[in-house]
Amino acid sequence: MQEDNKNVRECSIKQLRAICQATAPNPARESKVGKFSRIFSIYFTKIFLYTNVPPPVVMASSVAVFFIGIGFMSLNQFSTNLIGVGIIFFSIVLDGTDGELARARKQTSVVAGMYGEPVSHDFQYGFAFLIVSIGLYLSGAAWWIIALGAIASIAKLIYRLLEIRFWDVFYGYQNEEQLDEMKKAYSVLPSWKRLIYWVNKNFFSSTGVFLVALLTVLVDRLDLFIWFFAVGYVLMMFALFIKQLMTILRSESIN
C-alpha cells in the first residue's frame, strides 16, 4: 500500500487527472461549477497525497469550510458576502478533492459514496439557508425572511428524501454497467427534459448554490438568494412528487 501511494505521488497532474477524474459523474448531475472546480481540486489532491490525511477528513473539512463561508455571508455586508462566496467555492474544491484522493489511494467505498457525502450535503442544506436568513433578519429584514430560509432547507431535504425513497424502490443498488446505461439514457432524453436537468444541476445542486450566491451578492441582494431557493425548492419538491406518483400509478396498473 505504501508503495502504491509513493507511485501515485510521483504522477504528473495530467496523469492524476486520468486516474482521479476519469469517472465522470452522471451528466444529469454534473454542473458547470462542479466541472470548473475540478481544474483546481486535482492540485489539492496532489498535496494531500504527500500526507496521511484520510479522505473522510477532507470531506469533513469541506463541510466546515462551507459553513465558514456561510458565516461570512450571514454578516450581510458586500465585502464579507464576496469573501463568503469565495470560501464556499473553496469548499466545493475540497469536496472534489475528497473523492479524487480516495480514488488515487484506491480507498473508495460504498459507505463513503452512499452515506458520507450525501449526509454532508444534508447538513449543508439543513442549516445554510436558515443561517443566512437569520443574518438578513439581524440586518433589518422582515421576520418572514427566516421562515423563507426554513422553507428552502425543508423543501430541499424533502426533495432529497423523495429521491432516495424512489430510488430504493425502483432501482436499488446499481453496478457500473447499469449506471453506464443510465448515463446513455440521459443523452437521448427530449430537449425539454434535458433543459430541466440542466437548470437543476447548475442552480439547485450543492455546487449550484455557489453560482446563485455569487449572482445575488454581485447585485447586493442577498435576500434574493433566500427567495430563489425557497420558491425553487418548493416547486421542485412538488414536481418530483407528482412525477414519482404518476410513475408508481403506471407501474401498479401494469402489474
Count of domains in the chain? Answer: 1
Contact indicator for 155, 236 with CB cutoff of 8 Å: yes
Q: What is the pLDDT of residues 87-146, one digit of tens each?
A: 999 999 999 999 889 888 887 665 556 677 778 888 898 899 999 999 999 999 999 999
Question: In this predicted structure, which of 63-77, 148-162, 186-200 has the lowest mean pLDDT?
Answer: 186-200
pLDDT at residue 9 in the model? 79
Residue range of the domain that includes 171: 2-254
Residue 27: pLDDT band (50, 70, 90) is low
Question: Looking at residue 119, what is its pLDDT?
Answer: 83
Long-range contacts, stretch 60-65, CB < 8 angstroms, 24+ apart: 60/120, 61/94, 62/91, 62/92, 62/94, 62/95, 62/97, 62/98, 62/120, 63/91, 63/120, 63/123, 63/124, 65/90, 65/91, 65/94
CATH number at 65 reads: 1.20.120.1760
CA-to-CA separations, 186 to 155, 183, 190, 193, 239, in angstroms, rounded: 25, 5, 9, 9, 19
> How high is the pLDDT of residue 254?
65
- Cell numbers placing 83: 469573501
5 has a pLDDT exceeding 90 = no
Q: What's the whole-model pTM score?
A: 0.86
How much is the pLDDT for 110? 58
pLDDT at 172: 59
Residue pLDDT, tens place only, 29-47: 678 898 899 999 999 999 9
CB 146 within 8 Å of CB 134: yes
pLDDT of residue 216 exceeding 90, the answer is: yes
CA distance 212 to 214: 5
pLDDT in tens, 133-175: 999 999 999 999 999 999 999 999 999 888 888 876 666 555 5
pLDDT at 186: 61
Give the pLDDT of residue 200.
86
C-alpha cell at 18: 486520468
- Please provide the DSSP assignment of 147-166 as one string: HHHHHHHHHHHHHHHHHHHH
Interatomic CA distance for residues 115 and 202, integer angstroms: 23
With a pLDDT cut of 90, the percent of the chain lying above it is 49
